[in-house]
Structure 1
Amino acid sequence: MTDTETQAEAPAPTTAEAAPASKNDDLEERLVAEGEIAGDYLEELLDLLDFDGDIDLDVEGDRAVVSIDGGNDLSKLVGRKGEVLDALQELTRLAVHQKTGERSRLMLDIARWRRQRRDELAALGKKVAERVLASGEREELSPMTPFERKIVHDAVAAVDGVHSESEGVEPSRRVVVLLD
């Protein structure tokens, strides 16, 4: 191998090493763009509905997160069990899809409802896992959305000696916690 060949090959690993960072940068840019499109859409919607609220954009992992906080009576945009929030999230994802041509996994939170729900479900998952561990009896939870089930599954997975499964068909799909 000549010095010329060695020099020609030397930059290749550097380029390969830079590729993952570039891919992550591209993903981050795409998610930020999704968040901005969603923020604009939601700002127009809030104006139409005459609601006040501060819109915050963030990226968590592989999804854009848009939060609306600070307004009076935002609970009306959440609904009793988050149904209105889920519908607004889906509409926002459709608005992003319409502008980008790509499916969005964007998450919308209003008045920190999802954050609080996440904390409640994580605590529930841990509590039920510990109960099943102590009693040896399987336990079924109430039907949940896929988002809610994922949080419970993650909480149960953190407790040794038990595991969880999803059973049933939407909209009655539920988490079941069992001994290993």
Structure 2
Amino acid sequence: MPDVTEAEAEQETARTPTATAPDLVALEQEGEIAADYIEGLLDIADIDGDIDMDVEGDRAVVSVVGVKGGDLTGKHGEVLEALQELTRLAVHRQTGERSRLMLDVGGFRERRRAELTKLGVKIADDVKRSGEPKPLQPMTPFERKIVHDAVAAAGLRSESEGEEPNRFVVVMPA
């Protein structure tokens, strides 16, 4: 292997793309646009609620808090998923950029995250005992990611199979 001088190594490093930090200003702008959009929807529907905005990692997070009932989430979060997509479209329309914005209503996503983490750990334990792969029910991409993370933390692997909207996780033995 040829020797690489320090200058050559620096040039190579300069040419190699690195992960960039998220653009906080752009993410905050996404949050503002989304908050305005959601505020308008709440006004039209005559629903009381406060809006919190945050940036978590590389995405804007908008939460509607103080909302009564599940009208904005739906039985299994279907309404929340639809609202999130509409909000992402509103952000895209104004910025021209694809948004990864996360919308939560009344803490639904946080509760769901806790449930799915428990499920992922339980299923991983079951698969470790039985040695057999275990398919789960269809889930949204958000839900599948949580299960994949919980399974990986338990030391197993998982895969997503099927086509949307019936895509599901299969937990595999070690």
The alpha-carbon deviation at position 163 of structure 1 amounts to 1.1
In structure 2, what is the Cα distance between the partners aligned to 1:84 and 1:115?
16
Separation (CA, whole Å) in 2 of partners of 1:133 and 1:72: 41
TM-score (structure 2 length as normaliser): 0.86
SS of the equivalent of 2:23 reads: helix
- SS of the aligned residue for 1:118 comes to helix
8 A contact 2:38–2:87 mirrored in 1: yes
Q: What is the RMSD computed on CA atoms of the aligned residues?
A: 1.5
Q: How does 1:135-146 map to 2 (within 5 A)?
A: 135-146=130-141
Q: What is the correspondence of 1:109-128 to structure 2 with a 5 Å cutoff?
A: 109-128=104-123
- Output the CA distance in 1 between the equivalents of 2:128 and 2:66: 41
Equivalent positions of 1:32-71 (< 5 A) are 32-71=28-67
Relative to total residues, which structure has the larger helix share, 1 or 2? 1
Pick one of 163, 166, 169 that aligns with 1:175: 169
Normalization by structure 1: what TM-score? 0.83
Larger radius of gyration: 1
In structure 2, distance between residues paired with 1:164 and 1:126: 12
Q: Which residue of 2 aligns with 1:164?
A: 158
How many residues are paired up?
157
Is it true that 1:27 corresponds to 2:26 in the alignment? no
CA distance in 1, matches of 2:157, 2:86: 34
Structure 1's unaligned 5+ residue stretches are 1-15
Q: Deviations over 1:25-79 (max 9, x none)?
A: x711100010011111111110110000010000000000000011223x10101
Matched, 1:148 2:143: yes
Secondary structure at 2:98 match in 1: coil
Identity %: 62
